[in-house]
Amino acid sequence: MAPSATTSTALAATSPPPPTHFTQPPRILIIGAGSRGTAYAQAALDCSNALITTVIETIASKRRRFAARFIHHSNGSNNNPSSSEGSEFAGLDDWISSERTRRTQSPETPGVNAVLICVLDEMHEEVACQLAELGGLHILVEKPLSTSLQSCVKMYDVLKRQEQERVFGICHVLRYSPHNVMLRDMVVNGEVGEVLSLEHTEPVGWWHFSHSYVRGNWRKEKTTAPSLLTKSCHDIDFILWLLCSPLQENAKPHLPSYLTSTGSRTFFRKERKPIAAGEATNCLACPFEAECEYSAKKIYVERHLDNGNTGWPVKIVHSDIEDVYKTQGVDKAREMLLKNLSEDYTSETPTAEVEARPWFGRCVWESDNDVCDDQCVTMTWEDDPVDGQDGKPELTGRGAKTAQFHMVAFTEKICERRGRIYGTKGEIEYDSKTIKVHNFATGKTVVHSPLQMGGGHGGGDIGLIRQFLFAVDAVESRTMAVSEAQRRFLGCDLDEAFRSHAAVFAAEEARTQRKVVDWEHWWSESVEPQLRGR
Question: Which residues, including other chains, have CB under 8 Å from residue 18's CB and lie 6 or more apart?
Answer: none
Q: With cut-offs at 50, 70 and 90, classify the pLDDT of residue 14.
A: low
Question: Is 459 within 8 Å of 208 (Cβ atoms)?
Answer: no
The beta strands (E) that lie in 72-117 are given as: 88-89, 114-117
Distance CA 386, CA 284 (A): 63
Question: For the whole model, what pTM was predicted?
Answer: 0.93
Helix, strand, coil percentages for the chain (3-state, nearest 5): 40, 15, 40
The answer, yes or no, to whether residue 440 has pLDDT greater than 70, is yes
The answer, yes or no, to whether residue 292 has pLDDT greater than 80, is yes
The beta strands (E) that lie in 340-478 are given as: 374-381, 386-387, 393-394, 401-408, 418-423, 426-430, 435-439, 445-448
10 DSSP 8-state letter: T
Domains and CATH numbers, the chain: 1-193+453-492 (3.40.50.720), 197-268+370-423+498-507 (3.30.360), 272-355 (no CATH)
pLDDT of amino acid 508? 98
The answer, yes or no, to whether residue 239 has pLDDT greater than 90, is yes
pLDDT of amino acid 10? 36
pLDDT of amino acid 452? 84
Q: Is the dihedral of CA 7, 13, 15, 16 positive or negative?
A: negative
Question: Is 78 within 8 Å of 28 (Cβ atoms)?
Answer: no
Distance CA 298, CA 289 (A): 9
pLDDT of amino acid 391? 76
Q: Could you tell me what percent of the chain has a pLDDT over 70?
A: 93
Phi and psi at residue 7, in whole multiples of 5°? -105, 135
Helix (H) / strand (E) element for 52: namely strand 51-56
Distance CA 459, CA 229 (A): 22
Residue type, 362: R
Integer angstrom CA distances of residue 353 from 107, 211, 346, 356: 44, 19, 11, 5
pLDDT of amino acid 8? 36
The answer, yes or no, to whether residue 295 has pLDDT greater than 90, is yes
pLDDT of amino acid 389? 76
Q: With cut-offs at 50, 70 and 90, classify the pLDDT of residue 278.
A: very high
Q: With cut-offs at 50, 70 and 90, classify the pLDDT of residue 28.
A: very high
pLDDT of amino acid 374? 98
Residues 361-371: tens digit of each pLDDT: 999 999 999 99
Q: Which residues of 519-531 are buried (b: 16+ CB within 10 A; e: fewer)?
A: beebbeebbeeee
The answer, yes or no, to whether residue 80 has pLDDT greater than 60, is no
Question: Is 451 within 8 Å of 13 (Cβ atoms)?
Answer: yes
The answer, yes or no, to whether residue 77 has pLDDT greater than 70, is no
Distance CA 87, CA 309 (A): 30
The answer, yes or no, to whether residue 112 has pLDDT greater than 80, is yes
Q: Which long-range contacts (CB under 8 A, 24 or more apart) does 481-487 make?
A: 481/164, 482/163, 482/164, 482/165, 482/166, 482/167, 483/163, 483/164, 483/249, 485/167, 486/167, 486/168, 487/249
Distance CA 149, CA 167 (A): 22
Question: Is 165 within 8 Å of 159 (Cβ atoms)?
Answer: no
The answer, yes or no, to whether residue 4 has pLDDT greater than 50, is no
Nearest to 127 by CA among 58, 64, 45, 223: 58
User: Helix (H, G, I), strand (E, B), or coil: what is residue 231?
Assistant: coil
Q: Which residues of 125-147 are buried (b: 16+ CB within 10 A; e: fewer)?
A: bebbbebbeeeebbbbbbbbbbb
pLDDT of amino acid 250? 63
Distance CA 226, CA 383 (A): 31
Distance CA 310, CA 333 (A): 9
Phi and psi at residue 382, in whole multiples of 5°? -105, 165
User: Helix (H, G, I), strand (E, B), or coil: what is residue 22?
Assistant: coil
Distance CA 53, CA 72 (A): 9
The answer, yes or no, to whether residue 31 has pLDDT greater than 80, is yes
pLDDT of amino acid 249? 58
Please work out, in degrees rounded to the nearest 5, the angle formed at the alpha carbon of residue 297 by the alpha carbons of 291 and 301: 130
